[in-house]
Amino acid sequence: MAKFGPYEDDNIFAKILRGELPCEKVYEDQHVLAFNDINPQAPIHVLVIPKGPYVSMDDFTEKASDEEIGAFFRAVGKVARQLELAEPGYRLLANHGTDGMQEVPHLHIHIFGGRKLGPMLKTA
């Protein structure tokens, strides 16, 4: 389960950003890294993360600069286009906190695509 205190440098995505763990990189710029999810839930499943130390969407939208926020959302669209998902379509997801069942406490947006994705939420 996610830890929702201050940002902790030992999370998996921080280690990927520091090059201590490998990733299948899809896109990188000054503010953003995107890589394939290790346990894909769709034919295409990419994670887009900011390079800054933000726990979640809540943390990011409160503390990040306008430049970081702009760069992050521009990159999400850019990655989706790079993956040729703009036309068939895709789904974005950002889990936050306990009810959102966030597992890794470094903000990430999931991009899912490559097939019809079905209903937005399964009934529990």
Q: Is 108 an active-site residue?
A: yes
> What torsion do the CA atoms of 59, 17, 36, 83 make, to the nearest 10 degrees?
80
Going residue by residue from 47 to 86, which x/- string records binding to ligand AMP, judged by CB under 6 A?
Answer: x---------------------------------------
Sign of CA dihedral 19, 20, 26, 30: negative
Q: Which residues have CB under 8 Å from 43's CB, separation 6+?
A: 113, 114, 115
Q: Does 38 bind ligand AMP (CB under 6 A)?
A: yes
Give the interface segment with ligand AMP, choosing from 32-40, 53-61, 64-72, 112-120 (CB under 6 A): 32-40
**8 Å CB contact between 2 and 104:** yes
Nearer to ligand AMP, 23 or 79 (CB): 23
Which chain residues interact with ligand AMP by CB under 6 A?
Answer: 12, 21, 23, 37-39, 47, 95, 101-104
